[in-house]
Amino acid sequence: MTTNDYRDLLDTDPTRTAADATSPVSDAGVLFHIDGATESTLQWKAETFQLVNWGGFEGRVRFDFHPGSTLISGASGTGKSTLLDAYIALMMPSDTPFNGASNDAVGGRARSVEQRNLLTYLRGQTDTTADADGQEKPKVLRGDRATTWGAVGMTFVDDRGRRFTALRAYYVPARARRNGEFTMRMATFDGVLDLADFAEHADQAFAPKALKAAFPGLKTWDSYAAFANILYTRLGIGANGDGSKALRLLVRIQSGHQIRTVDELYKEMVLERPATFASADRAIEHFDDLEAAYLAMQTEQQKADLLAPITELHTRLLDARAEVETIDTFGLALDGDTPIKLWSLRTETALLTDAVDANRDARATNVDRLKWARGDEDDLARDLKAAQDAHRDSGGADLERLADEIKAECRRRDERLDRRGELAQRTVALNAPLDSREVFVKLHSAADAFLTTYGEADTELGEQRDQLLRRQFPLLERKRHLTDERASFAGRAGRVPKFLDDMRHQVATAAGMDPAELPFLAELIDIDPEHARWRTAIETVLGGSARLLLVPRERLEDFSRRIDPLHLRGRLTFEGVPSTEHRDVAGDPDTIAGKLLFKNHPFSAWVIRHVTDPARNALCVATAEELTGLSYRVTLAGQTRRGTSGSHGRNDSSNIIGFSSAEAIADIDRQLADVNTALGTLDTQRTQVEQERDALDRTSRAYEEVRRVAWDDIDVAGVEQRIRELEANRSAILNANDRLRALETHIGHLNGVLEKARERRFDLQNRGKELNDQHAILADRQDKVSDELYRIEDKQTVVLDDEQVVRLNKEFAAAAAPADPDSLDQFLNNLGHLRKRLNSAVAGARLDVERAEAELARTFDTYQRLWEDPTLGATATSYPDYARILDNIITTGLHERRDEWRRRLTQWSGQDLVPLSGAMDAAIEDIEDRLAPINDILAALPFGAGRDRLRIKLRRLAPDHVMQFRRELRVLSSTATKGLEESQMERRFTELQQFMAQLRRRDDPRATAELADRDRLLDVRRHVEITAERYSSDCVLLSVHSALGGKSGGESQELVAFIVGAALRFRLGDELRARPRFAPVFLDEGFVKSDSEFAGRAVQAWKGLGFQLIVGAPLDKVTALEPHMDELLAITKDNATGYSFVAHIKDPVDRGHE
């Protein structure tokens, strides 16, 4: 259905007149008066808003708006914001967030974008549930796994009754999951449309051709820009057809941002993004070309720096590979015939040849020397015989006899000296001299006396040692026992002795239980530290009970059956005990139980009952005198009495009661210390006895040796006296005959020379034998080496070139150093050193190859990561490609890049920054210029109860960082770069780079986070401060409004209404008109903090500015707003179905007659 008469869509209401639909509230027209207001200012107002399948509104729902003001109210969640979001969806681009104020406001009701978007509104999403797989699933009113459609449309009417409808229709397929997956159609129509009629075109996704055929005159728009442009021009939104700023301001007003100051209010709601940002972007765009050239130059330099080492690395790689190849040709790792084997055979052959030749020469020389030595020996022998014959003829027979006797006596003396030395060694224990007959006789007598009593003394010392050993044995057993006992406490608590713990482990293993399940009663009780002096008494009384093993009662029968076959090393007493909750019980401190602490354990309740039994819970008394009485009593010393029966003493002196083993361990440590001290004393005594016995034994053996020797066997002095006598007789004969003395001397000389001649002859004979043996060995070795060498050379399968020989000779000399490489004896050792050296060299060369290849690969990989090029490889084999790149960079590339950068820097001038400098000034001036028309509008509006006037005032700020920025901007925009040296150009560019870095966006790839300060420097809105001044009618300044926080909600909203309303008039381009051409202003939760008076003034301010108000407010704010609004619409919701409805609320009496 199409019509140009809006009454076709109105519900019939006999109480509503035409005047109601066209005239404002009776007192609205006289609130303000704007000079020049005439009917020539044609105004458009919102008349009807239709929603189809939008949020909770099912089917077509129509909202009729009063030309003056309409209040829309309802409970929370009924659909007030749904209606206002629909208006945003109609008028604004599709990416405009819904309910923006609620999301942005600090104290607002935040709703995430996911909760409110086109898709959730079109399907009517009410909640989120989980499917069978636990995945989140939206709960919707429509379109669940099915297609659906929806539409929003507003019909505007002007003063002449012409109507214009703007609409958007949506087709949502079942598969749609996000915005963009459904079809949206934008359209306009001169007149009124019923959006319910669009249902039959939903299946065709609202094809434009079909729509135009069904609704003649309907125009569809393919882009928001075209759609918005027709709205701007037809509805008079914005100056010169530019309504985007006005619409954005209307959305801000609708969303109700939380504002704290007038400055923030004006800047957020009125001022747009200044042109300084665009000027800065243009300057950055121009500078990016310069920086790109610089970066390209830097890139080339970085490439050159990165690739610079590859030439040397490649040289090292080639050298290392050549070294490996060269050494590999020697055949080190090969078996059989190899070049190094051939070289070694030839080298050894040469050394053997030299050695054989040297041996032959040495043998010939030795034969000659031996011949001469034998001749010399024969001559000396003849001379000696002649001298001896002459000596004998001159009476030398007596001298020869005396000489023979002297030799015999000297031999006798040497024998006695040896015997005396041996005896002295065996009688060291006696410490007695052996050089006097008298002393030796006395030593014999002492030996007889000592050996007579030796047996008894040795027996006595042996018995003393055995007695000490017998005394040590019990102490060692005690030490072993204490050590074992201490070790047993290492992994458990309590003071239970080891033998009991061992039996516990034995029965626990047999019963299949953890030993911890079988505590001894002693481990579940301890003595309160305050009553520690009563330990002896408590241990005496509870000693038997303490050694009782406690078994869980429910396992007692099984436990008893399983342990029955065991043979325990002792008697183990146990009892089945029930498990119950532990409870602390306060006992009488004068009794045994009252001095105990009980462990938190399932058996503790039974333990408490056990020890508090009168048969065990003895009364503790200090002295024996207090034992008198019928009850069970115990003294500190442990004596017990019950009436006339008593006992004293303990069967086992060790303490067993306690939670911790610390005291037991400390006690064991004390006992161990005492035992170790006693053992040390006995060991010292035993050592002394054994030392005495050893000394007695050594003395006995020494006296035995004395008794086996006679004096004449060791009488050295007597023999020496005989030698002296014989030598004296021989000297007397020589002294009496000069010829004999001379012959004696000559014979002695000849004997010495002859002996040397004989030694020389013997040495030469040995040397000849050695040379002959050496020749035989050399000849045999030479034969073997020559045979092997001839075999290899005859086969001609091994090639050994001159270069290999030179290299092997050099390596052999180095390997043999510091030894002689020409030594045949060291040849095999040196050959082994050569192989080791060559193996090390080839291993090092291979390592150099790997390192060089790895370095090249790392360099090439780094290059690829920095400047990826799919045509280049990343291994050492790609060296030629990278070498060409490096060569090109060095020869031409880097030079060309630097020249290009110099050219662009020279061409760069401050003129690129001049527009920015001008924009900074112009932007602030623009803000100041914008104040004038707004202040003109405010000058005509009465403000507050006193009907005063508001005026917006601007104050320029001068922050240090901004002033510094402006100074740098002036300098850089006026400085030329021509004629600068290289270093000056670098410095100049660095300054420009740092300056421009301040202006870059944070998402700019070239931005530097610590330098970026774009908003603070370019947003000139931050460089001014805005306040509102209130003047009286006679222009007297009454107050200055800066912060809104100190005012009541109503005062601040009244102030906001005046300022924003005036700004909106300006933004709509209607500051010089009597009233705005586009009147609708939507407010979400508007005036919610105002009382009736302030709300009324704020509403009248908007009306006075000529705007049509449509306000959404919660139920509790209706009473404050309703008296000042022309119409009230109530939105309700059926919680059972989730659907929302709208109804007109009318006063029972027409307001015009009140």
In 29-144, the DSSP E strands lie at 44-54, 57-64, 69-74, 125-130, 136-140
Max Cα–Cα distance, the chain, nearest Å: 194
3-state secondary structure of 810: helix
198 lies in the same domain as 288 = no
Instruction: Identify the CA nearest to 1057 among candidates 1025, 1086, 1035, 1032.
Output: 1086
Residue for token pair 């014999």: 444
How far is residue 577 from each of residues 517, 581, 608, 610, 917, measured CA to CA in Å?
11, 13, 12, 11, 96
| 18 assigned to some structural domain | yes
Indicate if 221 and 102 belong to the same structural domain: yes
CATH of the domain at 90: 3.40.50
- Asked if residue 602 lies in contact with residue 580, where contact means CB atoms within 8 angstroms, the answer is yes
Give the range of the structural domain holding residue 700, as residue numbers without chain letter: 453-492+661-707
pLDDT, position 294: 76
Asked if the structure places residue 233 within a domain, the reply is yes
Instruction: Kindly state whether residues 472 and 504 are assigned to the same domain.
Output: no
Residues in the chain: 1154
Residue with tokens 């075999």: 791
Q: Are residues 1107 and 959 in the same domain?
A: no
Residue 748 counted as domain residue: no
Q: Which residues contact 1052 (CB under 8 A, 6 or more apart)?
A: 259, 1044, 1089
Are 523 and 659 contacting, i.e. CB atoms less than 8 angstroms apart?
yes
**Type and span of the H or E element at 210:** helix 208-214
What radius of gyration do the chain's Cα atoms show? Answer: 63
- Tokens 């202040």 found at: 935
Q: Are residues 540 and 579 in the same domain?
A: yes
Buried b or exposed e, range 753-775, using 16+ CB within 10 angstroms: ebeebeebbeebeebbeebeebb
Identify whether the C-beta of residue 173 lies closer than 8 Å to the C-beta of residue 27.
no
* Cα–Cα dist 388/394, whole Å: 10
What does the pLDDT read at residue 259? 64
* C-alpha 151, offset from chain centre: 55
Which residue is associated with the tokens 């009517």? 124
Q: Tell me how far apart the alpha carbons of residues 382 and 858 are, in angstroms, rounded to a whole number.
A: 93
Q: Using an 8 Å Cβ cutoff, are 341 and 838 in contact?
A: no
Six token digits for residue 1038: 């009454």
Helices (H), 92-207: 100-104, 118-123
Domain limit, last residue, from 986, 1014, 1043:
1043
Judge if 23 and 97 occupy the same domain: yes
Structure tokens at 596: 């105990």
- Determine the pLDDT at residue 979: 57
Which pLDDT value is given to residue 736? 58
Q: What are phi and psi of 951, to 5 degrees?
A: -145, 130
Concatenate the DSSP letters of all residues of 191-231 into one string. SEE-GGGGGGGGGGT--HHHHHHHSTT-EEESSHHHHHHHH
1035 sits in the region (left: phi over 0; alpha: psi -120 to 50; else beta) called left
Q: Give the SS3 label for residue 1129.
A: strand
- Assess whether 90 and 166 both reside in one domain: yes
Same-domain check for residues 459 and 602: no
Q: 934, exposed or middle or buried, with CB in 10 Å at 0-12, 13-18, 19+?
A: buried
Q: Which residue has the tokens 């003396």?
A: 413
410, part of any domain: no
> What's the burial of 1047, exposed, middle or buried (CB within 10 Å: 0-12/13-18/19+)?
middle
Residue with tokens 């007889």: 448
- Out of 1009, 1043, 1077, a domain closes at 1043
- Establish if 457 belongs to a structural domain: yes
β-pair partners for 527 = 596
Q: If DSSP codes are grouped into helix, strand and coil, which group holds residue 97?
A: coil
Q: State how far the Cα of 595 lies from the Cα of 602, in Å rounded to an integer.
A: 21
Q: How many CA within 13 A on the CB side of residue 921?
A: 8
- 619: its two tokens: 């009364």
**The predicted structure's pLDDT at residue 31:** 36
HEC-encoded secondary structure of 1090-1109: CCHHHHHHHHHHHHHCCCEE
16 and 37 both lie in a single domain: yes
Is 782 inside a domain boundary? no
The dihedral built from the CA positions of residue 4, 9, 15 and 16, taken in this order, carries a sign that is negative
What are 826's two structure tokens?
Answer: 């060291």
Please report the beta strands in 565-683, taking only residues with DSSP state E, as ranges in sequence order.
Answer: 574-577, 596-598, 619-620, 632-634, 640-642, 645-647
> Is 22 a member of any domain?
yes
Quick one: 10 and 48 in the same domain?
Answer: yes
Rounded CA-CA distance 1068/1077 in Å is: 8
Point out the domain boundary residue: 1010, 1028, 1043.
1043
Cα separation, 1101 vs 235, in Å, equals 22
Per-residue model confidence (pLDDT) at position 7: 36
pTM above 0.85, yes or no: no
In a domain, 590, yes or no: yes
CATH number of the domain within which 481 lies: 1.10.287
Q: Is 168 exposed, middle or buried (0-12, 13-18, 19+ CB in 10 A)?
A: buried
- Tell whether 672 and 695 lie within a shared domain: yes
What is the tally of structural domains in the chain? 4
Strands of 851-982 (E only): list them: 949-956
Residue 812: Cβ within 10 Å count: 21
Place of tokens 């053996």: 701
What's the confidence (pLDDT) of residue 26?
32
| CA distances to 167, 485, 693, 1153 from 689, in Å | 125, 33, 6, 141
pLDDT along the chain (1154 residues), means of 10: 39 38 35 42 92 94 94 87 90 78 38 67 85 76 90 95 96 87 94 94 92 94 93 84 74 68 75 82 80 77 86 91 87 85 88 89 88 83 74 64 76 81 77 78 81 83 85 87 80 83 92 93 90 90 90 94 91 93 84 90 92 90 88 90 87 78 81 89 88 84 80 77 74 66 75 86 89 89 87 86 89 87 86 89 91 91 89 89 85 72 67 78 82 81 80 86 84 65 75 80 76 80 86 85 61 72 72 79 70 70 84 83 88 90 75 41
208 with 145, same domain: the answer is yes
C-alpha to C-alpha distances, 1032 to 379, 946, 1051, nearest whole angstrom: 161, 8, 17
